[in-house]
Chain A
């Protein structure tokens, strides 16, 4: 396998619902990536697209729609879906194609327009689609799942409501310094603790909404393109994990979970991160900054443990002690996280990797983590999907 570098990144800033079509958002991100890499569109030898599930034919074939905007060149275009880890799957396919020598330069992108109203069931067949059961019979929107786990955590490890609120305080402070974030207001602990409960113990400001956004990444093993790139970033590993039998976490859209743990919590992310550590020869102790999926304040805490940055039940202390702040031992989500962005399903994993790359390239202004050399982006997708990417400069 060859060494593979990120040479170009592009983002369409995160926003709320938009009447604009997803392909235009994608094009903005891809334009940005091409400009950053200083290459022509015709240098792209494969396109790995995260699909936009609410976009019908266009969304399911997002790669073809994108390609036709820039000009069709006959290169392989693959469209992929792995829930909220969709972008991780696109990056991994692009990486594997380039690392294996199938192509020299590849594009991975994702673009999502937030649906008007609520995310809900996508079919009406309860036998083959369990999601129908949780909506029709369970009355269980996504944050319920997180709240059920959070309640367990509070009883087991003594996580407090202040800890949950403190996560939002930190995320909003960083989000206020990120021009690409959707939510730019910094909140005090008191303001967060005064926000209404959505599902106890989680409050409105402690869960992330759905958003519109697009992100694109150009990677290459072409020595000429690497040489002329502005601070190319090495991809040390990019992996996908699935769940492990006996994982006690109740997964979104499931109606049950094992009562006896025979595997780690969030085992899909445990699997993805351990594969990445192994492949990269880099461990949690070597990581200078981490972007993790803070769909809720509970995720922020548990992901530090799942990915091995501390032992079980120790994340609250890391947070309280300031270790996860910019300037601490492990800055977490200097981007402001999902809390400041919201989920743009197929784009978010790519955006997380871009934030890591931007940090390593020293492009993050007020939220810059000084001297960062190694960064990790971690995703979380429903029903056992996860991806880990480790980068270095």
Chain B
């Protein structure tokens, strides 16, 4: 039978050769024999097993066969008749919900130029007036749905999102009260998270966030000059001077009173500053625990969109920060570059995703009016509504969304080594770019593959120099503020 190498990536670190299997997500170190066999299987003809062994030198036959079998076991080599696994049928019963993202308001007190909620890339139909704030009643109905649909999950997350989330603090307070009560009744633990632009963080709000152990993500784009380029008030005035003291107060309170680490989220646009400098500013000077970067989502024509040269610069910036991260990890210190931290966590667990993210699986978004959508970014897109909190999730629409988003449907991804962790990328981004949430994000592949390759190399280097560090990925990642949602606010 003919056997061939399955999609994988081999890479070097510290003088050793490793392989990452796109079929299983396994990372292994290869010895010389297995390298030879894998290379042979990677030729177009593959090997005709077991006949190929007849031509192997007698003394090598046994070890080559053994290496071959091990490679098959890891998913690095497969027979040509291996039943091709296409989209697994989705389980008949509904998926348990774990995370609910409540868009408590669609209003914002800033008007950032790149915002997908309000800018040129927004999905909502602007001709229809929408409730600007979620009512307490809608929030309670949403939470009831979360509890009822959470199955056996014991840990639930409620994330508040906007607009500027804190413009509707009343509903947030009511929701926290209600979820904590229902949590006690049902024996489930509920944790809270929110994303904010920090303009409204006053003392009382901060005390509330600390008391209920909120995971807070703050949208801030770096030092004043970078931040104020896009993150402006309606008057056009930058927001940095207003937010900085408030952020400092929040960080101090969280740290002093045992709150959760606070993450900064930086949106990268054309003309962005040097990443390492931005990191240094936010982590060392301002005091954020972790800093995550995300390129702006937009159609490519927008003036703030990242052109190709900037993507290269971005990769160089990520590489420089990754070096710092690895150096820290080798000394057993935590570095706050959260993009890499999250990637290493996925590589360590060996995730192999059928869907790029939890949207419509364990997570759904709810609009101010109570409509359910696959995630927070799709709320207010009429084309993506999947039910209403009063009547429940429309399972048929949900299943359709998931079927179309399954990586098996994304033909170019089949031959891509980055597939286990990318799986085609963000549905929302795909929708903005290609008008189809089920499309793979082909404009980003080069970048994703380079980034995955960088992650693998960092992973192997840490494993070689300080394997104990990787234990911190055994449980849920501690550093990242989960779920790390970016803010349109």
Do A and B pair up? The answer is: no
Q: Which residues of A contact B (CB under 8 A)?
A: none
Q: Which residues of B contact A (CB under 8 A)?
A: none
